[in-house]
C-alpha cells in the first residue's frame, strides 16, 4: 500500500519542478537588502551576484532605487554577470518602476584596468541603471570600463 503514496510524492515533486521551469519568477535587490533574504519584494537581496545565483532563464531581477557602492583593493571587476539566459528567455536585470539604481564603483582601487560591470553571459537584458565612478588606477593602460561585454 505504500507504493501509491510514494508515486504520488514523486509526481508532486515532478509537477513542482516543471511548474518552476515554465513560470518566470521575479526577484528584488535593494541597497538595504540582505543576501540571506529570499529576494522577494518584502525581503530583497543586497547584491546583483546573489540575484544572479537565484535567477534563471526568463526571470526578472528588479533593483530598487538608491546607491550600490563597490570597493575592492584587489578585484578589478565590480560585478561579473556570467549566468546566461536563453534566446527565447532572457534574464532581465531592470530598475524598479520610477526608481534609479546607481552603481558607484569609485571605491575600486586595484592596480588594474577597472571594470564596473563585466558581462560574460549571453541572453541577458539590462535596463535603467546609472553607473558611475569607475576609476582608472594605473598609468600603463589607459582604459577602464563602466560595462565591458566579452566576445564569445
Tell me the pTM: 0.81
In this prediction, residue 109 carries a pLDDT of: 86
Asked whether the beta carbons of 59 and 97 are under 8 A apart, the reply is no
Residue with cell 535587490: 29
In this prediction, residue 112 carries a pLDDT of: 83
φ and ψ at 89, to 5 degrees?
A: -140, 85
In this prediction, residue 82 carries a pLDDT of: 96
In this prediction, residue 2 carries a pLDDT of: 52
Nearest by Cα to 93 from 119, 132, 67: 119
In this prediction, residue 19 carries a pLDDT of: 47
Q: What is the pLDDT along the chain (152 residues), one digit of tens a residue?
A: 455 554 444 444 444 444 455 689 999 999 999 999 999 999 999 999 999 999 999 999 999 999 999 988 888 888 999 999 999 999 999 999 999 999 999 998 888 888 888 899 999 999 999 999 888 877 666 677 777 787 76
In this prediction, residue 11 carries a pLDDT of: 43
What is d(CA 12, CA 53) in angstroms, rounded to the nearest whole number?
A: 25
Amino acid at each position: 500500500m505504500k507504493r501509491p503514496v510514494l508515486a504520488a510524492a514523486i509526481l508532486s515533486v515532478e509537477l513542482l519542478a516543471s511548474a518552476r521551469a515554465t513560470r518566470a519568477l521575479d526577484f528584488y535587490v535593494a541597497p538595504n537588502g540582505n543576501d540571506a533574504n529570499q529576494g522577494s519584494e518584502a525581503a530583497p537581496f543586497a547584491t546583483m551576484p546573489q540575484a544572479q545565483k537565484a535567477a534563471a532563464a526568463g526571470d526578472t531581477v528588479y533593483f530598487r532605487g538608491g546607491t550600490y557602492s563597490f570597493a575592492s583593493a584587489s578585484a578589478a571587476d565590480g560585478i561579473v554577470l556570467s549566468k546566461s539566459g536563453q534566446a527565447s528567455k532572457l534574464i532581465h536585470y531592470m530598475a524598479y518602476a520610477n526608481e534609479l539604481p546607481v552603481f558607484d564603483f569609485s571605491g575600486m582601487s586595484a592596480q588594474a584596468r577597472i571594470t564596473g560591470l563585466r558581462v560574460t553571459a549571453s541572453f541577458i537584458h539590462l535596463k535603467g541603471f546609472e553607473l558611475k565612478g569607475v576609476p582608472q588606477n594605473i598609468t600603463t593602460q589607459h582604459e577602464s570600463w563602466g560595462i565591458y561585454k566579452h566576445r564569445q
